[in-house]
Amino acid sequence: MKIIKSSGMSEDFNIHKLVNSLVRSGAPDDVAAEIAQEVADSVTPSEHTKHIYRMAKKLLRQHNKANSMRYSIKRAIYNLGPTGYPFEKYFGRILSAYGYSVEVNRMISGYCVTHEVDVLASKDNLRCVIECKHHASGEKPADIKIALYVNARFNDIRKALELSSEKNSHVTEGWLVTNTRCSSDAIKYAACEGLKIVSWRYPEKESLEAMIEEKRLYPVTILPSATKNITQALFVSDIILAKEIAMMDEQALLRRCRLDRIHALAIIKEAKELCTQLLKPDESNKS
């Protein structure tokens, strides 16, 4: 049976793919299989994947609210737009959790021109120049033109710093980071040139998805009560991760940003449901 993807292209409905996506959200195998079968029984020819996703999410929520939120992680990252800046800050926060020293939106003089670098990250002997490409949907992959552009910027910066007399000014890696997939040509070119790619499911063990799930670094946009206005208020207050909210009490959150008490309590409750397993007992009410 053919279903319609967000890009408008059709593909065969694959129940195993649905089961795997539910398992990745934390659902036990038997629950994932049960939900997938119920969805499969309801799917009609030319059904849109958005509708299938909504059906699965609704059924998953009946079993476990936290897993239902995790099932929304891809869409939560889409909702970091419309500008790319929240995504840049979000990825910077992810790298910080992995032990990197991070600067966001740093101006660096290249050999030919000056560049605004999305993220500059350092760890041990690595100093990485990172370009973040955020997309509001998964319709178009990051293609070869983006990879060429990112690598050219990195090489211009590296050439200037190699000629600089300033100590510890070198850079060692250029990265292309995107919340969608990359085209096969972009991946092939990056591998040839030594450009690191971090995309949704590539590379397998160091993909954006894997980095998020390993440390449960979910953005605040994953919380059901985080409307667009609330999300903006959180970003302005430099609150990017759901985990940061889970570690606050009501007064701490209200001190940080302008929210009414009802919405503050709602997003704290959701953040704690999502992140409780990550928090130590003495952290649950940390301000």
How does residue 14 score in pLDDT terms, banded at 50, 70 and 90?
very high
How does residue 277 score in pLDDT terms, banded at 50, 70 and 90?
low
Residue 181 CB partners (closer than 8 Å, separation 6+)? 138, 141, 142, 199, 200, 201, 202
pLDDT at 286: 45
Residue 83 CB partners (closer than 8 Å, separation 6+)? none
pLDDT at 167: 64
pLDDT, tens only, 105-131: 999 999 999 999 999 999 999 999 999
pLDDT, tens only, 54-93: 999 999 999 999 999 999 999 999 999 877 799 999 999 9
DSSP structure class, residue 133:
E
CB-side neighbour CA atoms (13 Å) of 182: 31
Task: Check whether 282 has a pLDDT greater than 80.
Answer: no
pTM: predicted TM-score of the whole model, two decimal places: 0.88
CB atoms within 10 A of CB 74: 18
Q: Where is 286: in which H helix or E strand?
A: none
pLDDT, tens only, 198-235: 999 999 889 999 999 999 999 999 999 999 999 999 99
